[in-house]
């Protein structure tokens, strides 16, 4: 390939232009994502909802797959277990999503907890004296009676495990099985998003616990992803980048080059595919906008960097939803950067705040309504609150005044909050490109954002899911100003 051809390749778009979500990408990108080590040809290219999978493998009859599921759980012949599990996973992948749901319902209901056994053990357990009595004094039992108590307690604990535990355990130690389990869970989640079925919910919750144990951070390897990595791995970075899409090969190379770092967590049983990865920019100062990070050209020399900016984190496995690997990944990457680059002392994140606008608009609308409906409305009392318990002017007096000035020129409103609401929802987001409008709305937008992130709580956690993630990782709030 000549120079020009290479330049064109490096700049050509890597993804469809529509703003797709990750979920859609699964169906569109032909990523090689092999499930099985033993039978890559038949198990490859399997995604949870990939409609082409049933075309590659002819769909099997549900009852045939169900029979192989049964064997996978109940066989005691260790020499055939691998072929039984291969047969089951191939059968599963051949099924349509509807048939998979029927199969998983059978799994959830018929391979559930043995409740007759649980009840027997409960009665046995309640009949035994515990090591420490109700009032906290030692029971004085001898060791053999204590042993019997502990044994019954352990038996009860084991009996409360559903029978499908066996299937999960066997798949976990089977080549390709862990990946299969994450796909199975992704299927479960997409079923539960449509319809809440209690037994499937219980199955999902149990599988989630098992996956969290097996994918414990101790079992994961931190991998520094570079331009020297295999194309099959880099392809996954492009496909799964969920925060700031990678536009072309140049963009990708840039994110792995000087002044940038990319780290992923890999599991030995799912080789060549990071479960989660994070992108870091080494800068002189905390960036104000993501554009500075993605397009600062030339990059800051690494020896001059004093700030590590975590600008993107993406999970590659929809089946691991709710299992917080990011927290551990960030911690490990911070340690690593600290060790390798002692001159970097600021660790920050530049993050979208997905729930802010929605919260702000609803706040502005409801407070503006309350203000209107109330007689004797005082636009701004000293504490920002007035008569009604729920009523509150969320704007400061000078913000209110500046917005009311705009009311005549740009956007109608009976009070500052209504003006702001109208501005923010106006067509084409005019306010984002007008200096005059920005000069007025920036101050209240920033101030209210800090309040949204730090003060608005639900059950003790930040209202915003992304904010909550960062705050749990030890972040303090520094909205760019």
Instruction: Write the CB contacts of 16 (distance below 8 Å, at least 6 apart in sequence).
Output: 28
Closer Cβ to its own copies, 212 or 233, answer by number: 212
Residues forming a β-bridge with 263? 224, 278
Q: Which residues are catalytic?
A: 351, 470
* Residue 102 C-beta: closest distance to its own copies, Å: 16
* Residue 160 C-beta: closest distance to its own copies, Å: 4
Task: Give me 369's structure tokens.
Answer: 């309504």
Among candidate residues 202, 203, 180, the one with its CA nearest the CA of residue 317 = 180
Closer Cβ to its own copies, 126 or 193, answer by number: 126
Q: What is the 3-state secondary structure (H, E, C) of 165-215?
A: HHHHHHHHCCCCHHHHHHHHHHHHHHHHHHCCCHHHHHHHHHHHHHHHHHC
* Residue 406 C-beta: closest distance to its own copies, Å: 44
Closer Cβ to its own copies, 338 or 343, answer by number: 338
* Residue 400 C-beta: closest distance to its own copies, Å: 40
Task: Give me 18's structure tokens.
Answer: 């529509």
Output the CA–CA distances (angstroms, integers) from residue 372 to 392, 403, 418, in the order listed. 12, 17, 10
Helix 356-373 × helix 416-424 angle, to 10°: 140
For residues 220 and 226, give the distance between their C-alpha atoms in angstroms, rounded to a whole number.
Answer: 18
* Residue 154 C-beta: closest distance to its own copies, Å: 7
**Binding residues vs its own copies (CB under 8 A):** 78-79, 109, 112-113, 115-116, 119, 122, 125-126, 130-132, 134, 143-144, 146-147, 149-150, 153-154, 156-157, 160-161, 172-173, 177-178, 196-199, 201-202, 205-206, 213-214, 216-221, 267-269, 328, 472, 474
Element (H, E) at 349: strand 346-349
Contact 258, 299 (CB under 8 A): yes
Residues forming a β-bridge with 392? 385
Task: Give me 339's structure tokens.
Answer: 């060790």
Closer Cβ to its own copies, 247 or 472, answer by number: 472
For residues 469 and 405, give the distance between their C-alpha atoms in angstroms, rounded to a whole number.
Answer: 39
* Residue 173 C-beta: closest distance to its own copies, Å: 5
Rounded to the nearest 5 degrees, what angle is found at the Cα of 50, between the Cα atoms of 47 and 53?
90
* Residue 402 C-beta: closest distance to its own copies, Å: 40
Phi then psi for 458, rounded to 5 degrees? -135, 120
């Amino acid at each position: 390939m000549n120079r020009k051809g290479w330049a064109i390749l490096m700049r050509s778009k890597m993804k469809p232009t529509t703003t797709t979500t990750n979920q859609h990408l699964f169906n569109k990108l032909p990523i090689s994502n092999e499930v099985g080590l033993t039978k890559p040809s038949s198990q490859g290219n399997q995604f949870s909802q990939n409609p082409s999978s049933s075309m590659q493998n002819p769909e099997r009859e549900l009852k045939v797959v169900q029979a192989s599921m049964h064997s996978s759980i109940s066989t005691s012949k260790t020499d055939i277990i691998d072929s039984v599990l291969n047969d089951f996973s191939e059968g599963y992948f051949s099924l349509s999503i509807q048939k998979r749901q029927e199969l998983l319902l059978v799994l959830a209901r018929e391979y559930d907890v043995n409740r007759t056994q649980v009840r027997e053990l409960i009665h046995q357990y309640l009949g035994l004296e515990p090591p420490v009595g109700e009032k906290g004094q030692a029971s004085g039992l001898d060791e053999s009676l204590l042993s019997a108590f502990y044994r019954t307690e352990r038996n009860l604990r084991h009996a409360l495990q559903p029978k499908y535990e066996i299937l999960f355990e066997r798949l976990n130690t089977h080549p390709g099985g862990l990946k299969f389990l994450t796909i199975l869970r992704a299927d479960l989640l997409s079923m539960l998003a449509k319809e809440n079925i209690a037994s499937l919910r219980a199955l999902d919750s149990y599988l989630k616990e098992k996956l969290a144990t097996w994918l414990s951070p101790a079992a994961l390897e931190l991998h520094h992803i570079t331009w020297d990595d295999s194309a099959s791995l880099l392809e996954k970075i492009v496909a799964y980048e969920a925060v700031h899409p990678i536009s072309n090969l140049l963009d990708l190379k840039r994110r792995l080059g000087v002044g940038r770092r990319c780290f992923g967590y890999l599991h030995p049983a799912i080789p060549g595919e990071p479960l989660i990865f994070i992108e870091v920019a080494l800068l002189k100062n905390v960036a104000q906008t993501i554009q500075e990070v993605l397009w600062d050209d030339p990059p800051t020399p690494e020896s001059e960097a004093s700030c590590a900016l975590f600008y993107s984190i993406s999970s590659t496995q929809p089946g691991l939803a709710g299992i917080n690997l990011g927290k551990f990944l960030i911690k490990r990457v911070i340690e690593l950067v600290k060790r390798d680059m002692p001159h970097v002392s600021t660790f920050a994140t530049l993050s979208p705040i997905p729930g802010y606008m929605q919260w702000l608009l609803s706040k502005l609308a409801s407070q503006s309504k309350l203000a209107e409906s109330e007689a004797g409305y005082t636009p701004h009392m000293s504490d920002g609150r007035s008569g009604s318990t729920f009523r509150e002017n969320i704007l400061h007096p000078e913000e209110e005044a500046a917005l009311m000035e705009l009311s005549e020129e740009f956007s109608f409103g009976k009070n500052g909050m209504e003006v702001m609401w109208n501005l923010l929802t106006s067509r084409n987001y005019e306010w984002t490109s007008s200096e005059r409008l920005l000069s007025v709305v920036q101050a209240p937008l920033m101030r209210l954002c800090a309040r949204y992130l730090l003060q608005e709580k639900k059950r003790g956690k930040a209202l915003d899911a992304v904010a909550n993630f960062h705050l749990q990782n030890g972040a303090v709030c520094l909205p760019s100003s």
